[in-house]
Structure 1
Amino acid sequence: MPAERRLAPGVFVTGTDTGVGKTLVAAALARHLRDQGLRVAVMKPVETGVADPNQAGPDAALLRWAAGCQAPWEDVAPLRLRRPLAPALAAEKDKVFVDFSALVETCQRLRRNHDFVIVEGAGGLMVPLAGGLLIADLARAMELPLLVVCRPDLGTINHTLLTVFSAQTMEIPVCGFLINGMPDAPDEAMGDAPHALAALASTDLLGVLDRVDAADEQAKVEALAGQIAQLPTYRTLRYNLAWPSEPSV
């Protein structure tokens, strides 16, 4: 009987706040890894605000496109909910059962069949998922390191430190954080944020991504993927996320 395939490395992407661009960053990372020749799987365990739950939501669709992922939609986007609310409330309103164990098993299945897996959470770590469970509980159960996406403007130090410290308190490994959306002419608070966070966050700053103005989401992903390849912190990003140098056989 053949041995079971090992679980591939991966990352669980979370944000410090709504609107920080974690879907774009997750998709850009997926596109970059795909360009390296890796078989990348993506997963959006729960997406709310999906107009037609029989179809994939925009976040899951963007992730799958970026990765060139051929996994079935049931694995990429297993839980799609109509209302733009926290998952626990949206599921209650839609009378949908959140099968926590099934979400974890889906992630493991993707890890057995790909070189790298990117899971994007819903909102931040403390977002209610179901019952007494949070998105943080899902990240911990999936046993993936956390990549925190944060914004550069005023308030980001507090939000980022709270996210990192909460993860560490819950014994969720944090591989680092990315600052997304730095403008061409940052104000004083924005300009100081990378240095302050690098000194205070007790985890690695893996890069600062510039704000991208593009016609559509796919063009933004392509631009951000190009930025990732040119980051001064690229080697640290690659090491901390532990992605393989070549596809597995």
Structure 2
Amino acid sequence: MPAEKPLAPGIFITGTDTGVGKTLVAAALARHLRDLGLRVGVMKPVETGVTDPAAEGSDAALLRWAATCDAPLQDVAPLRLRRPLAPAVAAEKDKIFVDFGALLEACRRLRENHDFVIVEGAGGLMVPLAGGLLIADLARAMCLPLLVVCRPDLGTINHTLLTVFSAQTMDLPVAGFLLNGMPDIPDEAMSEAPHTLAALASTDLLGVLNRVAAKDEQSKVENLAGLIEKLPTYSILRRNLAWPEKTSK
């Protein structure tokens, strides 16, 4: 019986709210790691609001482009739903069965064939996936640590702490959190958010990424990827995400 392939390390990216830039951060990390010479696998296990469910949605397509990932559609974007609703609701309305085991198998295949894998969840941890299952249950079953992406403006302290503390209560390992979309001239609440969260969140602040302006999403990803290595917290980010030092041959 052939030995099983070793599984690559990876990260499960979740957000504190809708519109925090989770996909942009996931894609920027994928582009940065690809530029380091790593084979990066990307996955959007479930994407809703997909215009043509026979093809990848916009989030999965952006991740694939950023990583230059050539994995099959069923591994990168195994579940594509037309309605812009929570996955469990969108699937139920279209009478589509959410195969939890198939999502886990797709992740396993990606981890067998890449140096590092980035999985982007749908919304936050408490988004219903199927039946009594949440996105948090998917993250736990994939055995990947969480990277929490949060926004910098007023309210983010509450949302971020709730997300981190919920993850810890559910025994989900948290690699850290990252604030995305900090404006060039932040207001007082934004200026104080990183320090306050770093003191209270019981996990590491992995970076504060500035808001990037560009003509399209791909340009935004490239601009954001260029900021990652310049982060003062870059060594902590690299340590906590544990991506490999060397590429596979």
TM-score (norm 1): 0.99
- Partner Cα separation in structure 2 for residue 2 and residue 83 of structure 1: 42
Q: What is the CA-CA distance between 1:247 and the residue it aligns to?
A: 1.2
SS in 2 for 1:164: helix
Q: What is the CA-CA distance between 1:248 and the residue it aligns to?
A: 2.4
The residue that corresponds to 1:206 in the other structure is: 206
The residue that corresponds to 2:52 in the other structure is: 52
Q: Is 1:225 aligned to 2:225, yes or no?
A: yes
Tell me, which stretches of 5 or more residues in structure 1 are unaligned? none
Correspondence 1:153-172 to 2 at 5 A: 153-172=153-172
SS in 2 for 1:8: coil
| Equivalent AA in structure 2 for residue 54 of structure 1 | A
| Equivalent AA in structure 1 for residue 6 of structure 2 | R
- Partner Cα separation in structure 2 for residue 182 and residue 32 of structure 1: 20
The residue that corresponds to 1:109 in the other structure is: 109
Correspondence 1:88-167 to 2 at 5 A: 88-167=88-167
The residue that corresponds to 1:26 in the other structure is: 26
Q: Which moved more, 1:99-108 or 1:136-145?
A: 99-108
Q: What is the CA-CA distance between 1:105 and the residue it aligns to?
A: 1.2
- Partner Cα separation in structure 1 for residue 90 and residue 4 of structure 2: 37
- Partner Cα separation in structure 1 for residue 68 and residue 12 of structure 2: 18
| Equivalent AA in structure 1 for residue 119 of structure 2 | V
Could you report, residue by residue, the CA deviation over 1:131-175 in whole angstroms, capped at 9, with x for unpaired residues?
A: 000000000000000000000000000000000000000000000
SS in 2 for 1:153: coil
- Partner Cα separation in structure 1 for residue 4 and residue 114 of structure 2: 13
TM-score (norm 2): 0.99
- Partner Cα separation in structure 1 for residue 113 and residue 99 of structure 2: 22
| Equivalent AA in structure 1 for residue 137 of structure 2 | D
Tell me, which stretches of 5 or more residues in structure 2 are unaligned? none
| Equivalent AA in structure 2 for residue 208 of structure 1 | V
- Partner Cα separation in structure 1 for residue 56 and residue 242 of structure 2: 29
- Identity of aligned pairs, percent? 82
- Partner Cα separation in structure 1 for residue 85 and residue 50 of structure 2: 11
| Equivalent AA in structure 2 for residue 63 of structure 1 | L
Q: What is the CA-CA distance between 1:73 and the residue it aligns to?
A: 1.0
SS in 2 for 1:147: strand
- Partner Cα separation in structure 1 for residue 248 and residue 38 of structure 2: 8
- Partner Cα separation in structure 2 for residue 31 and residue 12 of structure 1: 16
SS in 1 for 2:122: coil
Q: Is 1:4 aligned to 2:4, yes or no?
A: yes
- Partner Cα separation in structure 2 for residue 4 and residue 63 of structure 1: 27
- Partner Cα separation in structure 2 for residue 219 and residue 23 of structure 1: 13
- Partner Cα separation in structure 2 for residue 88 and residue 119 of structure 1: 19
- Partner Cα separation in structure 2 for residue 238 and residue 64 of structure 1: 21
